[in-house]
Amino acid sequence: MNIWQVVGKIDPPGPLGQYGSIEGGLGKFLNNIFMLLTVGAGIFALFNFIRAGYTYMGAKDEKEKLEDASAMIVNSLIGLLIIASAFVIAALVGQLFFGSWDFIINPKISGPDPAMG
C-alpha cells in the first residue's frame, strides 16, 4: 500500500495565505499570548491568596507575619483589578475609536478581496 493512499493529497497554502477575511495570523497569535498572560496572572494571584492564607494561619501573634500576609492579599487584589481594568479600557477604546467593543481584544485582519481582481 502506498503512503499517499493512506494520507491523501495535501496541498500547501499559497505564499501569502488566504485572501479575504483572515482568521489567524499575527493578530490571533498576539491575542493568544495576551490571554495566556492574563490566565497566568490569575493563577499567580490565586497562589498568592493561598500562600497568604497559610501565612495568616502560621503567624500566631507575630505582627510582622500578619502584615506580610495582608500585604500579599492587597497586592493580589490590586493586580487582579489592574487585569480587569485592562479589559475594560481595551473595550472602551475599541468602542470609542473603532465602533466595536472587541476590536482590540479580538482583532480581525482583512486582506484584499479576491473578487476585486
Question: pLDDT at position 29, please?
Answer: 77
Question: pLDDT at position 40, please?
Answer: 94
CB 91 within 8 A of CB 102: yes
Res. 13 pLDDT band, cuts 50 70 90: low
Question: pLDDT at position 19, please?
Answer: 46
Query: How many Å from the N-terminal Cα to the C-terminal Cα in the chain?
Result: 43
Q: Which residue pairs, CB below 8 angstroms and at least 24 apart, start in 2-6? A: none
Question: pLDDT at position 3, please?
Answer: 67
pLDDT score of 14 more than 50: yes
Question: pLDDT at position 103, please?
Answer: 81
pLDDT score of 81 more than 80: yes
User: Mean pLDDT across the stretch 76-85?
Assistant: 93
pTM attached to this predicted model: 0.64
Domain boundaries, the chain: 23-104
Question: pLDDT at position 46, please?
Answer: 94
Considering only CA atoms, which of 45, 40, 115 is closest in space to residue 73? Answer: 45
Q: pLDDT, tens digit, for every residue of 91-103?
A: 899 889 888 888 8
Phi-psi region of 100 (alpha: psi -120 to 50; beta: other; left: phi over 0): beta
